[in-house]
Amino acid sequence: MNLNRLAFRQFPVRVPQRALVAVLVLAALGLALASCTPDKQTAADSIHPEPVGLRADAPSYARHGPFWVGYQQKSLGEGDRALAVQLWYPARNPNAADEDITYAFSLQPILTSFPDWPSELVTVVDGRALSDAKPDASAAPYPLVVFSHGFGLNPVWYNTLLEHYASHGFVVLAPQHTDPDWAEAWQASIDRPQEILRALDYAEQLTASGGDLAGLIDMERVAVVGHSFGGYTALAMGGARFDLETFELHAAELIDDPSAWILMPFVGKGAEMAARAGLDSIPEGLWPTFGDPRVDAIVPISSDAFLFDERGLAAIGIPVMAVGGTADTGAPYAWGTLPAYEHASSASKSLVGFVGAEHMVVATPCENMAWIEDTPLHAMFCGDPAWEKERALDLVHHLSTAFLLDVLTDDSGARAALLLNAVAFDGIEYETTLK
């Protein structure tokens, strides 16, 4: 998400601002069983979590999956190249302990620069996972989901979504992007896809023979999910391409639009963006892709797709589920979610519109981070003009989990749940190419 956008709405200040052959798969699985589960699994390992959602009326794929959820923190690189990553995965829980965790994290500077920001805060998020639990290799290797968080935020602000994916048999790897002020967001447009590439390479190392999660991750089944500027990141990893000449013309046409300030950090920054991407000059027409062939599907949520024109989005050919709120003022629906669906060339694509929803409807419920009540962010993050947060999250969990299970595991039940006549939820506008 773009926090300066939210500040713009709330405060009267000026905003400055991506095949192993069968023999190798079997070998890797053998290594996984040897390295990830050194102790013999007990009868208690057959105890599964209770299949409940955030609300009693949660649809099927919004309910906790059959796997317990483990959590680890990792780091790759050193110094200026250091990249913190967070990891959720199917875990062993032989004693059927409660999934109970408190995620501690540091706020990015863009947050603490808000007016009237409290001087001292203990910033934590309460979640449902088992810290450093042993991986459950019983159904390995698992598909990989790489998650890209909103601008200036942290993966744990989306813990309910990421824990939910892990409970349904996905390994979730979420890098901690370090974002500048929104005025310098052009830098993040180059850096973030590179950080996702590093996360993908790291996943290869983790699951390789001798890795910390040897045999646990199936690198032939990979999706990127992202929210807001993370949604931009997902689109870029899916193959979307810049055309900055067209972007500049579009920005000029929208100069009087109330949301035009969102575009300003990128206007006139073509040379700097090209140099940061390692290009000799600004490409004419479509830029080279920032995507990666390992990425098989994307879920851009409330995405910043405005950097791509119709041709740039048409470069996406993998399955897409575009999700967003129709009243989003942080990433306008007509600039992000809608074109991401309409212009992608994908044979398999779906559009999920939360009618009347704002930008942060997919973030963790605020009761999971009580400290936010004392900050200027409370109203923006904790309320929505049209949706009760737990209901919205249940539907995001249901639809995006079914999508990932369909495209990454060929789950016929999940595919059936995504057919047009199956998605009949109040407040959801839905389109799909699935038949």
Is the pLDDT assigned to residue 18 strictly greater than 90?
no
Buried residues in 198-217 as b, exposed as e (16+ CB within 10 A): bbbebbeebbbeebebbbbb
pLDDT band at residue 121 using 50, 70 and 90 as cut-offs: confident
Average pLDDT of the segment spanning 9-20 = 33
What span, in angstroms and rounded, lies between the C-alpha atoms of 124 and 146? 22
Nearest to 404 by CA among 151, 141, 105, 172: 172
Average pLDDT of the segment spanning 403-428 = 98
For residue 366, give every residue at least 6 positions away whose Cβ sits within 8 Å of its Cβ, in sequence order, or none.
Answer: 372, 373, 378, 381, 382, 389
Lowest mean pLDDT among 20-29, 151-160, 162-171, 423-432: 20-29
Percent of the chain with pLDDT over 70: 90
CATH number at residue 365: 3.40.50.1820
DSSP string, 177-196: -----GGGHHHHHHHHHHHH
Number of other residues whose CB lies within 10 A of the CB of residue 370: 12
Average pLDDT of the segment spanning 248-275 = 93
Is the pLDDT assigned to residue 172 strictly greater than 80?
yes
Q: How is residue 86 written in tokens?
A: 């967070």
Lowest mean pLDDT among 43-47, 100-104, 254-258: 43-47
Domain limits for position 380: 3-432
Is the pLDDT assigned to residue 191 strictly greater than 50?
yes
- CB-CB contact of 261 with 13 (8 Å): no
Beta strands in 154-303 (DSSP E): 171-175, 217-227, 297-301
Q: Backbone phi, then psi, for 66, in 5-degree steps? A: -75, -5
420: left (phi over 0), alpha (psi -120 to 50) or beta: alpha
What span, in angstroms and rounded, lies between the C-alpha atoms of 234 and 277? 17
Average pLDDT of the segment spanning 202-219 = 97
Q: Give tens-digit pLDDT for 132-142.
A: 999 999 999 99
Nearest to 413 by CA among 168, 230, 240: 168
Average pLDDT of the segment spanning 53-79 = 95
Is the pLDDT assigned to residue 232 strictly greater than 50?
yes
Number of domains in the chain: 1
Average pLDDT of the segment spanning 257-269 = 92
Task: Specify the higher pLDDT residue, 77 or 192.
Answer: 192
What span, in angstroms and rounded, lies between the C-alpha atoms of 286 and 311? 8
Tell the residue number behind the tokens 């050194």, with chain if given: 38
Number of other residues whose CB lies within 10 A of the CB of residue 49: 18
Average pLDDT of the segment spanning 203-226 = 97
Q: How is residue 276 written in tokens?
A: 């940061």
Average pLDDT of the segment spanning 46-59 = 95
For strand 320-325 and strand 297-301, is the pairing parallel, antiparallel, or unpaired? parallel
| 267: Cα within 13 Å, side-chain hemisphere | 14
Q: Give tens-digit pLDDT for 79-106.
A: 878 899 999 999 999 999 999 999 999 9
Nearest to 2 by CA among 173, 180, 158: 180
Average pLDDT of the segment spanning 51-65 = 98
What span, in angstroms and rounded, lies between the C-alpha atoms of 371 and 163? 21
Model-level pTM? 0.90
Q: Give the total residue count for the chain.
A: 435
Q: Give tens-digit pLDDT for 193-206.
A: 999 999 999 999 99
Lowest mean pLDDT among 16-30, 162-176, 261-275, 407-421: 16-30
Average pLDDT of the segment spanning 102-129 = 90
For residue 352, give every residue at least 6 positions away whose Cβ sits within 8 Å of its Cβ, in sequence order, or none.
Answer: 321, 322, 323, 324, 395, 396, 399, 423, 428, 429, 430
For residue 216, give every residue at least 6 positions away whose Cβ sits within 8 Å of its Cβ, in sequence order, or none.
Answer: 32, 36, 89, 135, 137, 140, 141, 142, 171, 206, 207
Instruction: Report pLDDT for 91.
Output: 98
Lowest mean pLDDT among 124-128, 286-290, 329-333: 329-333
Percent of the chain with pLDDT over 90: 80
